[in-house]
Amino acid sequence: MHQQIRLKLGVMEEEDGSGAMNAIPTEHDPIEVRRRLVELLDDLAAADFDLLMVGGHDIETSGEFVFAVADDQTAACAQMLKDKNYRNVRIVSPQHGHASHGPGGLAAALREMNLEGRRIHEIFIGIEQDGEIPVQVTSFAGSNEGGTAA
């Protein structure tokens, strides 16, 4: 599990306004977005994609839902989501490693990832596989605060 699939569930539309306010962005009810999240999970299950890691931020607003499937299924999964008209579907290759289960496991994994000089933006922990727990990190250079770079 070396890649993530990221997509947006929050829906931003523009309604016609009058005069100088020609386009007015509007958000949909978070309950509708939550329903879309459950539909997404149902779509993934129906296509037999097993979620190995799940995370995200601001999922019900302008943020992203982030997940990983088996490496050999990532491209097919992303394509299926695009075909079903999910928004901003993209594949990201974050830094990755493995943690052991138990005290200090995550700290040891982060040390092994050699993040010196980088700022951690996100950490994702997957489900244990073959005795190891996958860890994914997105980070950016210490002086650059714009966006994520694996």
Report domain extents, the chain: 4-92, 95-141
Does the pLDDT at position 119 exceed 80?
yes
Query: To 5 degrees, how large is the angle CA 61–CA 142–CA 137?
Result: 55
pLDDT top residue among 139 and 29 = 139
Confidence band (pLDDT; 50, 70, 90) for 144?
very low
Instruction: Please state the φ and ψ torsions of residue 44, each to the nearest 5 degrees.
Output: -65, -45
**R_g of the chain computed on alpha carbons:** 18
| 4-92 CATH choice from 2.40.160, 3.30.1050, 3.40.5, 3.30.70 | 3.30.70
pLDDT in tens, 39-85: 999 999 999 999 999 999 888 777 899 999 999 999 999 999 999 98
Q: 25-29, 97-101, 115-119: which range is least confident on average?
A: 25-29
Instruction: Please state the φ and ψ torsions of residue 132, each to the nearest 5 degrees.
Output: -125, 150
Q: Compute the average pLDDT of residues 18-45.
A: 73
pLDDT top residue among 3 and 19 = 3
Does the pLDDT at position 24 exceed 90?
no
Instruction: Please state the φ and ψ torsions of residue 19, each to the nearest 5 degrees.
Output: 60, -130
Beta strands at 133-141 and 118-125: parallel, antiparallel or unpaired: antiparallel
Distance CA(125)–CA(106), nearest Å, equals 9
Confidence band (pLDDT; 50, 70, 90) for 27?
low
Average pLDDT value over all residues in the chain? 84
Residue pair 95/112 in contact (Cβ under 8 Å)? The answer is: no
